[in-house]
Amino acid sequence: MKQALIHGKIYQGSGAFCEALLIENGTILQAGRTEDIAPCADTVFDLQGRVVLPGFNDSHLHAMMVGETLCDVDLSACRSIADIQQAIRAYLDTHQGATLVHGIGWNQDQLEERRCLERHDLDAVSATIPMVMERVCTHVLTVNTAMKNKVNLVDEDFDPDTGIAQENACAPFLRDVRDKSEATILNQLETVAAHCLRHGITSIQTADIKDGNFERVFAAYARFAARQTLRITHQFHIEDIPTLERFLRTCQPRTTRFHRIGPIKAFMDGSLGARTAWLSSPYRDDPSTCGIQVTTAQKFQELAVYAKKKRLPLITHAIGDAAIACVLDQYEALQEPGNPLRWGVVHVQITGRDLLERFRSQNIVAYIQPVFLEYDLHIVEERVGKTLAATSYAFETLHDFGVPLCLGTDAPVESVDPFKNLHCAVFRQDYDRYPKNGWNAQERLSLEDAIDAYTQGSAFAQGMEKKLGKLEPGYWADLVVIDHDIFQDSKTLLETKALKTMCHGMWVYSR
């Protein structure tokens, strides 16, 4: 059955528009004028002048952790240690008999005390029920005495006195948190998918697959993907080569157009907010540290060699300039001219001009999260100094250099809402519209370029640019109808909502 969408303002990319689409079997057959398309359809939907965009494709998030923020203790709104304690108590009141309490979202820079959450803060709520509270970046966490004693970890990146773990020392405390049944994972995915579709997101590239959990996680995703409401691509963080072989052998044959295997995901450093991002010079506001290199050069090289051998894309978390330089060096030693495997760097935050030039010369895909500016514009100069900050989060420079850009949110680190992300990309302001003229305003992206990076760019990064990211004949009918004409007034981005979301020709959300 053919359906037509008519009388719309349908964005096709690169500043071009049409007013109608003809769709059949999930694919766009024709794009053009209402009078040409409406007579060809069996059913017609009148858009009544509304703006239509390609479905958003979040190029990097953590869907299972988004589910945890929606289902566990959400600490993102807490502005004091007392707020955190109250949030945990409220959770315990509604989860009688809980044997483990997990939360995400605290940020010491937003707390009255201006310090990290510590073990004794959690013990004041309960010293007997194990608790794990992750910082918003998820590269740092705090445990109470019960959890400390349960795991009994000895690691240089874990301080038993404060209960604070950093980077690789976090994993032992999260094993029980992430050890969920397939049914529990599926239930959380349903919650996350509804959340994404409500925001006009039709594709996600999610980093949930890890060394020890891939069977249950992949099985739950496969069951969910069979419903065909949201497209999923996995970015898998498996460092052990035999486990990686087993994952690919087991899971690659089970992929579909709604459930795909994407790139290997590696890590080179931590986060800027936690001062674990690896910098070339000491932190301006903590000269005792340059951050943390979380993967050795040898281990990273093993992964990169394997990726090249298997013809797999490889993307690497790198925030600090030292981390980014290390990744680019390793890539340069192995990658083929033009980067046909589409190796990329995730985050690309702290950069000097020399690193930006290398993205161009090596044609590295830049996985960027403009929404990070909501928080980071307030701290980046304190962390790295004004000189380095001036060439960081350099989205427009990368775009001008012709570097492939793709947008994501890293949710739950930041909101999954694409319109907040676009606001930060276009205006380089926080949600309170500060600063008035934008932080380092010369790096603002145009609205059209930001949307294209969020749709076409994300599709390119995952090797799906011939089917996703455009509303043109031959492309899959993934789209969102929105309630503001953001092309007439982009200042309405923060207020913009999705009215209807379509995935593969089916309406999957209506407000």
Q: What is the pLDDT of residue 175?
A: 87
| DSSP track, 382-431 | HHH-HHHHTTSS-HHHHHHTT--EEE---TTSS---HHHHHHHHHH---T
Q: Indicate if 476 and 505 belong to the same structural domain.
A: yes
Q: Indicate if 84 and 130 belong to the same structural domain.
A: yes
Q: Indicate if 164 and 193 belong to the same structural domain.
A: no
Q: Indicate if 161 and 187 belong to the same structural domain.
A: no
Q: What is the pLDDT of residue 153?
A: 92
Q: In this structure, is residue 57 part of a structural domain?
A: no
Bridge partners for 6 per DSSP: 46
Q: In this structure, is residue 77 part of a structural domain?
A: yes
| DSSP track, 293-307 | --S-HHHHHHHHHHH
The domain total for the chain is 4
Three-state DSSP state, 345: strand
Q: In this structure, is residue 215 part of a structural domain?
A: yes
**Max Cα-Cα span within the chain:** 73
**Per-residue confidence in pLDDT tens, the chain, 511 aa:** 999 999 999 999 999 999 999 999 999 999 999 999 999 999 999 999 999 999 999 999 999 999 988 889 999 999 999 999 999 999 999 999 899 999 999 999 999 999 999 999 999 999 999 999 999 999 999 999 999 999 999 999 999 999 999 998 998 999 888 778 899 899 999 999 999 999 999 999 999 998 777 889 999 999 999 999 999 999 999 999 999 999 999 998 889 999 999 999 999 999 999 999 999 999 999 999 999 999 999 999 999 999 999 999 999 999 999 999 999 999 999 999 999 999 999 999 999 999 999 999 999 999 999 999 999 999 999 999 999 999 999 999 999 999 999 999 999 999 999 999 999 999 999 999 999 999 999 999 999 999 999 999 999 999 999 999 999 999 999 999 999 999 999 999 999 999 999 999 999 999 9
Residue 495 CA, chain-centre distance (Å), reads 21
Q: In this structure, is residue 435 part of a structural domain?
A: yes
Contact 238, 295 (CB under 8 A): no
The number of helix segments (H) and strand segments (E) in the chain equals: 19, 24
Q: What is the pLDDT of residue 20?
A: 99
Contact 61, 368 (CB under 8 A): no
CATH of the domain at 237: 3.40.50
Q: What is the pLDDT of residue 213?
A: 74
Residue 337 CA, chain-centre distance (Å), reads 28
Q: In this structure, is residue 167 part of a structural domain?
A: yes
CATH of the domain at 97: 3.10.310.70
Q: What is the pLDDT of residue 210?
A: 87
- Print the domain residue range for 14: 3-49+472-510
Of residues 118, 129, 122, 133, the one with CA closest to residue 85 = 122
Q: Indicate if 205 and 167 belong to the same structural domain.
A: no
Q: Indicate if 146 and 19 belong to the same structural domain.
A: no
Contact 480, 510 (CB under 8 A): no
Q: In this structure, is residue 189 part of a structural domain?
A: yes
Q: Indicate if 259 and 273 belong to the same structural domain.
A: no
Token readout for 212 is: 């020890």
pTM of the model: 0.94
Domain boundary among 143, 178, 213: 178
Q: What is the pLDDT of residue 380?
A: 98
Q: Indicate if 22 and 67 belong to the same structural domain.
A: no
Q: Indicate if 190 and 167 belong to the same structural domain.
A: no
Contact 158, 142 (CB under 8 A): no
Q: Indicate if 147 and 23 belong to the same structural domain.
A: no
Q: Indicate if 312 and 438 belong to the same structural domain.
A: yes
Q: In this structure, is residue 466 part of a structural domain?
A: no
CATH of the domain at 37: 2.30.40.10
Q: Indicate if 162 and 197 belong to the same structural domain.
A: no
CATH of the domain at 385: 3.20.20.140
Bridge partners for 22 per DSSP: 4, 30
Report d(CA 426, CA 264) in Å as an integer: 30
